[in-house]
Structure 1
Amino acid sequence: MSRNPCELGRLSLAEVTSDSHSNLSSDVSSEHLCFGFESNRQLATGAMAMSLLQGVNPNSPQIKDYVHQYLRFLTAHEVGHTLGLRHNFHGSTLLSPEQLNDTNITHNLGLVGSVMDYVPVNLAPKGEPQGDYFPIIIGPYDQWAIEYGYTPILANTLYQEKQVLKEIAQRSGEPELSFATDEDFWGVFLDPAANVFDLSSDMLQYSQWQLDNAIAMWERLESHSPRAGEGYDQVRRMFETIFGYYQNHAENITLYIGGQSFNRNRIGDPNGRLPFEPIPVNQQREALNTLQKYVFSEEAFQFSPQLLNKLAPSRWQDWGNPDVNSSLEYRIGDRILWFQKSILEEILAPTRLVRLRDLELNTSQNNSLAMPELFEALQNSIWTEVLEADKGIEISGIRRSLQREHLNLLTKMVLREVNVPEDALTLAWFQLKQLQEVLERTLEKQNDRMDAYTLAHLEMTRDRIVKTLGAQLQTN
């Protein structure tokens, strides 16, 4: 019997279950390839972390339990689809970071609110006991959705059935039943909580823990050697797996800058929330500070030559070899630059700048991260060597590359090569003007206290800024 989706508090019928109990939801036939690919990467990351951080042997019972947890979660996710459930990318926000490794909680309430989320491996922070790596029971949302879709209703009239369903759906405002599906995530990236491969109600804290875990894994990899008879390609793959994990959590953090929470509340719902709630400014600043530390600072990506010289690929020519098309050398400079560039482009993306502009209207005074603060913070962390120069300057190759990318983005804004708000254009112009003045003073006073790389880099930077600020601009 058909059920009217209008009677659901925050869920439509299609978002909970199909009309026919045997029909598949639209997600099943087109289950996103990223789930399989990224889940496998998460699985590999967890197994590697157990080896590097906990000293677990690959053939140990712990690894067996770990794999079984993953398979139970994966199976539950796919069975959920066969029962008609859609993705719930809010499911990962059920617990606080501190609760994630408390098995008294995760074995009773669940690790996540819904197994219909794309969930990463849960790695405890350094010094904390490890709990479950993946969900081992279904979540509160899953139970509630199945209750709505499959509870036998002994009703004589449509009105009576409607009232029973309405009573079940009225729980939609409970935090553990939070819901966000594909349309709320794919191509939108507005709400940090409606995200994939994130975990906990405080993703900022959790992601910082995982960035620290990744750094610890890199440090352990310094002294790691393959077993007798194995090649160094294992070290290369482990290094790159950690890099992917590091990047995933950095990208999650960018969502807080200019982000907003979105919910499906309707008028009359008990919690009284509006559909949109800007992310608090203190969280946006924390996200920006975290990215400055882990992505843009001088201290980020300090790898020893000993480790870098281990990163050799397998030379076995076989279709099943993942290294078969790899370059012989591991181009660490390109790898770091590609990562830093992608994060910088995310932060200064036109869509994000528009959101920051509009959030100044959607929030009370001084309760939003204004674009001037964002532009200044990025410039201060990326050009630290120049802005704080009080002695000889030596800018590393990694830092020079990052500075060029920052200069490229500001230049494109000023020359109207990207469609950004006018305020962003003027701020980019202002940042370049300030940088030009600093470069003039620095080059005049410290010209003879720089290495050749740094001198050429700063001279060329100054020249590019002069030409950009003096260029004839196209008007809209």
Structure 2
Amino acid sequence: MKKILLFCIAASLFSAASTTAQKKKKSKKGKTEQTAPAQKQKKGDIKNYSQVVTKDAVTDNGLFTVHKVDKKYLYEIPFSKLNKDMLWVTRIAKIPTGLGGGYMNAGSKTNEQLVHWVRFQDKILLKAKSYDNVADSSKAISASVKVNNYEPTLFAFDIEAFNTDSTSVVVDVTALFNTDVPAISGLSSRLRKTYKVKRLDPKRSFINSVKSFPENIEVKQDFTFNASEPSTLRATESISLQINQSMILLPEQPMQPRIFDPRVGFFTVSQYDFGSDELKADKKTYIRRWRLEPKDPEAYARGELVEPIKPIVYYLDPGTPENLKEYIKQGIEDWQKPFETAGFKNAIIARDAPTPEEDPEFSPEDIRYSMIRYVASTTRNAVGPSVSDPRSGEIIESDIIWYHNHLRSYRNRYLLETGAANPNARTLNTKPKEIGDMMRMVIAHEVGHALGYPHNMAASYAYPVDSLRNGEFTQKNGIAASIMDYARYNYIAQPGDKNIRFIRQMGPYDHYVTNWGYRYLAANSPEAEVPTLSKWILEKADNPIYKFGRQSSRFDPQSQTEGLGDDPVKASSYGVKNLKYVAKNLSNWTSDQTNNYDDLEELYGELLGVYSRYAGHVVTNIGGVFENLKTPKQNGPVYTPLSKTKQKESMKWLQDNVFSTQSWLVDNAILQNIDYAGYPENLRKVQARHLNGVLSADRIGRLLDAETTNKTYYSALEMLSDLRKGIWKEAYIGKSADIYRRNLQRTYLERMGTLLNAKNSSRSSFNVTTSDVSSLVRGELKTLRSKLKVAKNGSINTVTRYHYEDAIAKIDQALEAK
């Protein structure tokens, strides 16, 4: 009996010890690994490891161990990797022609999301995760944040087996990658609707490869969708894509964020902190930037240039034309100098992609590598997207996209904008060195985006207009204070100006913003950095070359796309003067050389676009409001309306250079060789765009706002009166109106009728229906009607008389409709 009792006790102790050992097991590195808790298993539910991962398995070790067994792919997930933050990025690896309208390509990111793998009973769940709402886990409110931000499950997997020492779980991920999971499919709902996608065809879809690396897993899938209206080869009724799925383990300890300040330009990530001491959900915004830390902190602190622990490396697409590689590399490494301002040397490096012999595992879609993608596409564009950690703003990787036909855009703009003063631009065969310099600057601009910098549209306003006619100044300072502005060419310089730099380059703001965002500060929290960062801003606050201007501004004359110089009226005067010279010589530089009219037609259309941009810069002055972002401790208001004098000068410029007939744009030597009809309409469209712009409800609203702050500003009534008298000038001086003016005057009546019945818009900053807009418009139309009734009986031609009678009828109709 005693023997039996002792045996039972021993068996009990052995069972307890065994259970304890199963719960915790020391790894070889001395760390404790989480293991699978013992569970009661149903027979046949969870198999033995050897039944699932058979001797025929092809195994790849890495973040997860990946096994390929026959046609199945298995992930062996360590329990230590469950609940860890991972970034999942979906990219297109191969794409059919035209999909997405020309702005999608091999390398395009279609989705970016944070995920984690979670165990629930006998399943492993792949769940999307958000850091939009957060709270310190030590605070009670963190529980509320968790239950009110429940995470969606992207996919659920049955547990197939545990590994032999119960430290990992095995799941079959085949179904995740060979079925149509919208979050990772590569085809948005918009594209599915556009191309009438019906379903994924499983017989023509398959997993191409799954590769596991120490911190990431890369999966390539070939998908074929049945689609009624594909972008190409429509008879096939199919869309085939190759998709790359990247999943990368994020750092256990996120990079220390840097708090965003709107006075300096950065892309951002934001979170609402419910655990803040503020009496609200405290919105915290951090800049997006790469993690640059000095190898030698002590030398860095002494002011020495120090290499970063991990530099930013860009690889060139293997498909990059050989003659352009030099310029692309220069565009990348042009940022080395601004990084030196921030204390780092060799912080950003350009390299050729390794050959298959050098690295058979290398893939442009691998999230470990940042690429300059060269896309064989007729699209004319370049972009600089990046992937970042939503917890901290740390940029993980980026792909710069250059579309091949963008070279043609730069050739055309070079000819049109600088041809008057620059003999080298008067050709369709721009010199390779000059094209290379243009491309270098575009790559530098796009790399700037990938470093975290948005467009700085105030950088072109930093320099006085006439300084851009000075050779010494432009060679030293370029044409704008930052490469991140849309200041591509010097269209200010006039014929006879010497030693001019016509192509943009890096500027002082680029050094300033890089130092502000990337200088390593030995602070123990983001908040501790703020006094130093604010001090740097205040030191530069009164110098326009360090000003940041938002691209989203539609009202600030300082922050305009494609603008140059600090005076839009003077700059556009120079620009139009140069365009007149170019228009006069356009046939000689194009069709006379090629013996066809293709380039003439293309460049004439783009010339109208360039002219329209110059006009638009002046339109912004009407109702213009300067935005100078500052804190309450800085002197002066944030928003200041443009002076009445400058606005009236701008109105006169528009009457003389846009609304009066621009006969130089209606050159029969061009038009009769490129089109059979529509000559007056070409000019009317440009005029209508800017007339409608002047007569926008928002612009009139800003003029009304300005009247409430200062009676000396240009009033809405005075602006409308000046515009009416200019547009209908012939009626006031008793002169007949030509066809171009009659077209413009009808456009005026159409727009005024629209304003008379204007409704509130979600984009508008004031209530249109209860404002003075309709009463001002009504009064202007009545005043005009009275003038036309007199003018139609004057000494004018028959067509003008009929036109005035028709205009009176249209006014009556608009007033009655209201």
Find the partner of 2:792 among 437, 443, 448: 443
In 2, Cα distance between equivalents of 1:455 and 1:341: 22
- Note if contact 1:2-1:19 (Cα within 8 Å) is conserved in structure 2: no
Find the partner of 2:442 among 49, 56, 74: 74
Write the mapping of 1:248-327 to structure 2, written as runs, cut at 5 A.
248-269=613-634, 272-298=635-661, 301=664, 303-310=666-673, 312=674
Find the partner of 1:28 among 377, 385, 398: 385
2:545 is the alignment partner of 1:176: yes
**Percent of pairs with identical residues:** 21
Deviation string 1:130-170 (CA, Å, 9 cap, x unpaired) is 6112223x211111122223334456898876655454344
In 2, Cα distance between equivalents of 1:36 and 1:281: 46
Match of 2:752? 410
Match of 2:463? 95
Match of 1:358? 705
Q: Secondary structure at the match of 1:119?
A: coil
In 1, Cα distance between equivalents of 2:512 and 2:738: 55
Q: Secondary structure at the match of 1:261?
A: strand
Deviation at 1:402, TM superposition (A): 0.6
Write the mapping of 1:188-203 to structure 2, written as runs, cut at 5 A.
188-203=553-568
Write the mapping of 1:60-459 to structure 2, written as runs, cut at 5 A.
63-123=431-491, 124-129=493-498, 131-136=500-505, 138-153=506-521, 164-173=532-541, 174-180=543-549, 184-186=550-552, 188-221=553-586, 226-227=591-592, 230-269=595-634, 272-298=635-661, 301=664, 303-310=666-673, 312=674, 329=676, 331-362=678-709, 364-366=710-712, 368-389=713-734, 393-415=735-757, 419=768, 422-446=771-795, 449-451=796-798, 453-459=799-805
- Note if contact 2:755-2:774 (Cα within 8 Å) is conserved in structure 1: yes
In 1, Cα distance between equivalents of 2:701 and 2:404: 33
- Note if contact 2:576-2:611 (Cα within 8 Å) is conserved in structure 1: yes
Deviation string 1:29-51 (CA, Å, 9 cap, x unpaired) is 49999999999645412224555
- Note if contact 1:372-1:427 (Cα within 8 Å) is conserved in structure 2: yes
Larger Rg: 2
Deviation string 1:16-39 (CA, Å, 9 cap, x unpaired) is 652634699x96249999999999
- Shift in alpha-carbon separation, 1:53–1:234, aligned structure 2, 3 A: farther
Match of 2:102? none
How many residues are matched? 439
- Shift in alpha-carbon separation, 1:162–1:208, aligned structure 2, 3 A: same
In 1, Cα distance between equivalents of 2:548 and 2:448: 15
RMSD: 3.5
In 2, Cα distance between equivalents of 1:407 and 1:115: 42
Which amino acid is the alignment partner of residue 219 of structure 1? K
**Mind listing any 5+ residue stretches in structure 2 that lack a counterpart?**
1-254, 269-286, 293-311, 313-367, 371-382, 388-398, 761-767
In 2, Cα distance between equivalents of 1:81 and 1:158: 23
Deviation string 1:111-139 (CA, Å, 9 cap, x unpaired) is 32211122231121344336112223x21
In 2, Cα distance between equivalents of 1:246 and 1:229: 25
- Shift in alpha-carbon separation, 1:91–1:50, aligned structure 2, 3 A: closer
**Mind listing any 5+ residue stretches in structure 1 that lack a counterpart?**
313-327
Deviation at 1:341, TM superposition (A): 1.0
Q: Secondary structure at the match of 1:5?
A: coil
Which amino acid is the alignment partner of residue 780 of structure 2? Q
TM-score normalised to structure 2 length: 0.49
Bigger fraction of residues in strand: 2
Flag the structure with more relative contact order, 1 or 2, with Cα contacts below 8 A and sequence separation at least 6. Answer: 1
- Note if contact 2:630-2:638 (Cα within 8 Å) is conserved in structure 1: yes
Deviation string 1:308-348 (CA, Å, 9 cap, x unpaired) is 222x2xxxxxxxxxxxxxxx535222211111111111111
Find the partner of 1:18 among 264, 269, 289: 289
